[in-house]
Structure 1
Amino acid sequence: MKASRWSVAILCVLISACGAARAIKYYQLEIPSPAPATAGTGFAVSLQVGNIEAPPIMRDGRILYQVGTHEVGAYEYHRWVETPDRVVQDSLVRLLRASGKFQSVDTPRNAVKSDYIVQGKIYEFSEMDKPEIHSRVSLEIELHDA
């Protein structure tokens, strides 16, 4: 009798291990292309767009959702192609370069000395369902002497 229970238990484990894993879906934010630079006075300064801070829950790529006022969850099978902190940093670099207002716009990855550093922090970057789906993004951007 004990042998048949063990056989059934082992069979259940083997069958459950053979189930197909749920596929992870990846999503990419589409940031509009910057407007062409207009002729005008630029600034004789260089910028470095520093790393953008984000809470640890935003750094693993899972898409977050908010329920009510205080509850935040994360989808296991829906992920960003790039984490929100990288999306914001890369978008700032692209927009500032396209403005044509600065001598140069770089990131810390380029190891270039700059006159000013643009830094930021993301507070919210999540989906909200009430009554239709929309997103909430809350961030802070600062400019500091290098």
Structure 2
Amino acid sequence: MKKIFPLLILALFSGCSIHTPAITEYSLLTPAPSGITPFSTSLPKSIKLNAPITLSSLATKSIHYSSSTQESGNYLYSAWSDTPSSMIENTLFLALQHSNLFSTVAPSASWAKTDYILESNLAIFQHTIKEDGSSEGIIDISYRLIDLESKKVIATKHFYSTHPSASNNAKGGIEALKKNMDKVNHQVIEWLSITLNQQKV
């Protein structure tokens, strides 16, 4: 009789399965950058983008959130398709190509020799739920434009941008960060254009 109980328990457990929800992946990349009007004439210069330097917590595919109660974490069943650092580089690369500001735009993986390098530091890239119940996507990133010939920093610019979320969940945060990234890329291109025209390149 004692041998029957272990067999019954084994049969019960073998008949049960634990269903784990699938993780949905999201990307910042879109087929065509929005809100960017191409320049009629390119500057006779080339630029290479370096992937943003960031905190270890932002070097993963996790989608981060924080709240007014100082709680922070990652959404369980939603993730980025790539790291924020890589996606930010790629979205800016596409935006710069579309803008026609430079004659050549090269990604960080390229061996091409360019006139400039654009470095950056990413401090914040997250969905934040505020005390009043609303929420927003926040991006905090700084850029440095470097002249490769002189090895000098030509200009630096800090961008802190927010965009309201339609909902206080992963989907709302993702859409807010996408729109916020478009806004920041537009501002970066405008800053580069003004800076280089002042330099009379």
Is 1:142 matched with 2:141? no
Alignment of 1:22-101 (within 5 A): 22-29=21-28, 32-40=33-41, 42-68=42-68, 70-101=70-101
Q: Structure 2: 5+ residue runs without aligned partners?
A: 149-201
Structure scoring higher RCO (CA < 8 A, sep ≥ 6) equals 1
How many matched pairs? 143
Instruction: Say if 2:51 and 2:108, in contact at 8 Å, map to a contact too.
Output: yes
**In angstroms, what is the RMSD of aligned CA positions?**
2.8
- Segment drifting more, 82-91 vs 21-30: 21-30
Question: C-alpha separation between the residues in 1 aligned to 2:66 and 2:36?
Answer: 32
Per-residue deviation, residues 72-113 of structure 1 (Å, max 9, x unmatched):
311222101222111210121112222212121101312101
What is the DSSP-based 3-state SS (H/G/I as helix, E as strand, rest coil) of the residue aligned with 2:38? coil
Structure 2 counterpart of 1:24, which letter?
A: I
Please say if residues 53 and 120 of structure 1, whose CA atoms lie closer than 8 Å, have aligned partners that are also in contact. Answer: yes
* TM-score between the two structures when normalised by the length of structure 1: 0.79
Greater strand share, structure number: 1
- Normalising by structure 2, report the TM-score: 0.60
Identical-residue share of aligned pairs (%): 23
The alpha-carbon distance between structure 1 residues 104 and 25, as it changes in their structure 2 partners (threshold 3 A), is: same
